[in-house]
Chain A
């Protein structure tokens, strides 16, 4: 599904990614771990087409297409979803209007009619229950006044609405209490199908208790320095990263 080859990227002239190679197949869950500043969030930003991130060299194929040539919205339409580390507040735009605009745009790109208001609300209600979000959130401004945990649940709710083929979750566990972690973790797991894939970017093992990865990659200084199975997370939890990078 996703094939990253020798990806080099920089921000403000500073080289951050220095040759990433990664292959993700449908049905797989990949975790990317690594110390601060190793390039994890940069990788997410580059894959979703954020401005100011310059791809120096390398290729990224997504279902056979050149992902790097697409605009951020095209990548979204093709099924790439980013769960933001810091979800953005948009005052004045209600969650319901925001999601309706997003979902109907996705439908339009697939040649489908927009959902009627009642159909939409039905889907929305269902998916909100999925992340245990109160229905009062639908009329509130996008992320406005949400607690850290509510924001992250809102990300997973949006993911449930858009049903992406590739979900990249950037530090979704940061700022979560135990309950929110469980809701987010089980939510993501339940969204898993043999047709989609997930990349979980995280510092800690604890989210991986819920979202069990097939592969764990350790990113350090812009390169993947180690790839192993899920047991690697436990080892990192115990020993830190030093033994991997020195």
Chain B
């Protein structure tokens, strides 16, 4: 905590720091989307037939679907035939060895792939465009029976597990982007924590988009077996480009009886420039199921990047006494748009959920919270508390909330609180009169506002997130 103001000061004059491009030889599949392309992706990855069939089925389903238009978003038309669906570095890492250019890239991003240099207590699966280039501490984790590897590897080595859980939480046809992802997903992370095992380190996936004209479609599947525990982190960045790039991921989490999963995201895709040119379209489906009794799933997200964000990490509370939390800070500046929130579906008895959403809008951005709390008839003893706050900086941005409560059990206790506030000229002048510069004052106020969520993040991430918040809001005053 004591370090925070220094961190803010340090970067007050920096810009999007991850906007560089790595120059290395890559293999691509030609752009476009059809059966042929999907077969090629599948063949490139040496996939079994069941997975190819899964993809093709998903593609045909997608073809019959329409882009969702219910978000409070203005999405320019996307030409899905103009996207490259597979790009990978030519020199893949051989066992124990990795292309120095890739290693350097991840070093620069603060994600050392060399285990000797790695952050203490964190294993990383590094995904570069369409492939996972390295998963660290695989062996250390394997000693405890934990499987942590790239999705492609899991398909080959643990096909039964993958087949059992793939699309079990997010069905292929759940929505337009989950169908698209199911058809063309290229890589991602797979994680299985066996019964009774407490994962000794944080697991994380880092997603990097590098190649021009591509999209990234990763798939993450986390299964926490009975009585297990894992804390999972996800980070992402992309180069600064004038073009928009599509990122449509699917994350599925299965939490068995007495197990607990903490899933944290620091989303820092390139947000576009100050005029709103370029940036990532982040259309992501994340969902977990608390399958067994007393299971627990918590989502924490810090969303600072992307030109457009469409994302609702949700939980199906099926097991009795299961619980879920959603903690979110979403920042939009300049011309960014975000429509994000959560769904808590209460099926089991005595299930509880807590939602804390903090939206921060600056510049000419639009920031929406969209949430649903649904209680099914058999779910007795349900509790939910939602708190939904919006903070405005300046007078050209927008903050919106769209909460939906649907209770079919009259015994459910559901609470919803919401506030809207603004950083005022008076507050800034007061800070400045005490010698605190405007940028730093905004940093202080933002960090104070988002504290409840930031405190939920693992240490390393909290520092990074705090730094990001102030970078994202740079130049938002005046």
Contact = CB atoms under 8 A, between A and B. Distances in A.
Interface of A: 48-51, 71-73, 75-77, 81-82, 84, 87-94, 97-98, 100-102, 104-106, 109, 114, 117, 141, 158, 162
B429 interface: yes
B432 A72 contact: yes
A77 B435 CA distance: 6
9 contacts: A73-B438, A75-B433, A88-B427, A93-B447, A97-B448, A98-B436, A102-B436, A117-B2, A141-B448
B440 interface: yes
B449 A72 contact: no
Nearest to A77: B435
Contact of A71 (B425, B431, B432, B448): B432
B444 interface: yes
Given A101-B436, A102-B436, A109-B435, A93 B429 contact: no
B13 interface: no
Contacts of A89: 427
Interface in B434-460: 434-438, 440, 444-445, 447-449, 451
B64 interface: no
Given A102-B435, A105-B437, A90 B448 contact: yes
A101 B444 contact: yes
Nearest to B452: A92
B5 interface: yes
B426 interface: yes
Given A76-B433, A98-B444, 5 more contacts: A72-B429, A91-B449, A98-B436, A101-B5, A102-B431
B436 A87 contact: no
Contacts of B444: 90, 93, 97-98, 101
B425 A51 contact: yes
A98 B425 contact: no
A90 B447 CA distance: 12
Contacts of A71: 432
For B426, B430, B435, B447, the residue with the greatest tally of chain A CB atoms inside 10 Å of its CB is B435
3 shortest interchain CB distances as A-B pairs: A92-B448, A76-B435, A72-B432
A182 B388 CA distance: 43
Interface in B410-433: 421, 424-427, 429-433
For B421, B432, B449, B451, the residue with the greatest tally of chain A CB atoms inside 10 Å of its CB is B432
Contacts of B2: 117
A76 B448 contact: no
B38 to A, nearest CB: 49
A48 B6 CA distance: 26
B429 A50 contact: yes
Chain B binding site: helix, strand, loop or mixed by DSSP? helix
Nearest to A105: B435
Contacts of B431: 90, 98, 102
Nearest to B434: A102
For B6, B430, B434, B451, the residue with the greatest tally of chain A CB atoms inside 10 Å of its CB is B434
A77 B425 CA distance: 20
B433 A72 contact: yes
Contacts of A90: 427, 430-431, 444-445, 448
A42 B429 CA distance: 15
Contact of B433 (A82, A100, A101, A109): A82
B5 A104 contact: yes
Contacts of A114: 6
A53 to B, nearest CB: 11
Contact of B432 (A73, A117, A158, A162): A73
Contact of A106 (B424, B435, B445): B435
A101 B5 CA distance: 7
A101 to B, nearest CB: 5
Contact of B421 (A49, A81, A91, A98): A91
A224 B195 CA distance: 82
A162 B440 CA distance: 18
B435 A100 contact: no
B180 to A, nearest CB: 39
Contacts of B449: 91-92
Contacts of B438: 73
Contacts of B6: 114
A105 B433 contact: no
Contacts of A98: 431, 434, 436, 444
A105 B436 contact: yes
A87 B430 CA distance: 8
A76 B434 contact: yes
A51 B434 CA distance: 15
A97 to B, nearest CB: 7
A48 B445 contact: no
Contacts of B421: 91
B435 A162 contact: yes
